[in-house]
Amino acid sequence: SDLQKQVERGELLQPLIFVLLVLCSVLLYFKVSLMDPGFVKPEEEVKEGENKGQGVVIPQIPGDIKLRRCGYCLVKQPMRAKHCQLCQHCVRRYDHHCPWLENCVGERNHPLFIVYLSVQLVVLLWGGHVAWSGLYFEQSWEWLQHNIFLLVSFLLMFIFTIVVLLLLVSHLYLISCNTTTWEFMSHHRISYLRHSELENPFDQGIILNLWRFFC
């Protein structure tokens, strides 16, 4: 049959991989949006140096800066935690609240968020390539009528690709510096950064920063 011949020639391999990537992207979306981003539980006791990834750099932070109690949920906030008023929880290593996910990006789901962006970028680039390969430009109204949806889909994929690419690059840069979006944007308002002798007391070098984040 024709289907068997296509399988033998490997013509169905690329569409199959593309469908699997789309499925993987959807599963990652639900995983990141539904999982606990690192909520600080009320019953947890915050101890000095509990964050293993920061043990080397905590001594560089002034000793007079004490862990404070959140004014909203009344839990003792660990270093780098922040209260999210949309989620109504304090989140460990808070990065930002993502409106597309309707969830915070924090200590637990930040690595998966990066994986999700990476897979999404591959899907968009692949889909954009397929849409572009199907365009054969002709200067006629009839051609435009037949290809209007293809042109719109290509334009949307181009816009989303730029957005996802910028998000991924910016997050990878911040991760390589061992800082978060919240710390980067609000450096002047965060006590442990404002009173620190170093501009970023958590930076341990690009390689170690990436290793600690992903591994």
Q: Which residues of the chain have pLDDT under 70?
A: 1-11, 43-67, 134-135, 137-139
pLDDT score for 137: 65
pLDDT of amino acid 197 = 78
pLDDT of res. 5: 61
Distance CA 215, CA 196 (A): 27
Q: Phi-psi region for residue 41, left (φ > 0), alpha (ψ -120 to 50) or beta? A: beta
Q: What is the pLDDT of residues 39-50, one digit of tens each?
A: 998 766 545 444
12: helix, coil or strand? Answer: coil
Identify the active-site residue in 98, 104, 177, 215.
98
What's the one-letter identity of residue 116?
Y
Active-site residue, 177 included: no
pTM metric for this prediction: 0.81
CA 140 to the chain's CA centroid:
43
pLDDT at site 98: 94
Q: What are the tens digits of pLDDT across the range 106-127?
A: 999 999 999 999 999 999 999 8
**93: region left, alpha or beta (phi > 0 left; psi from -120 to 50 alpha):** left
Please spell the DSSP secondary structure of 69-122, one letter per residue: B-TTT-PBPPTT-EEETTTTEEETT--EEETTTTEEE-TTTHHHHHHHHHHHHH
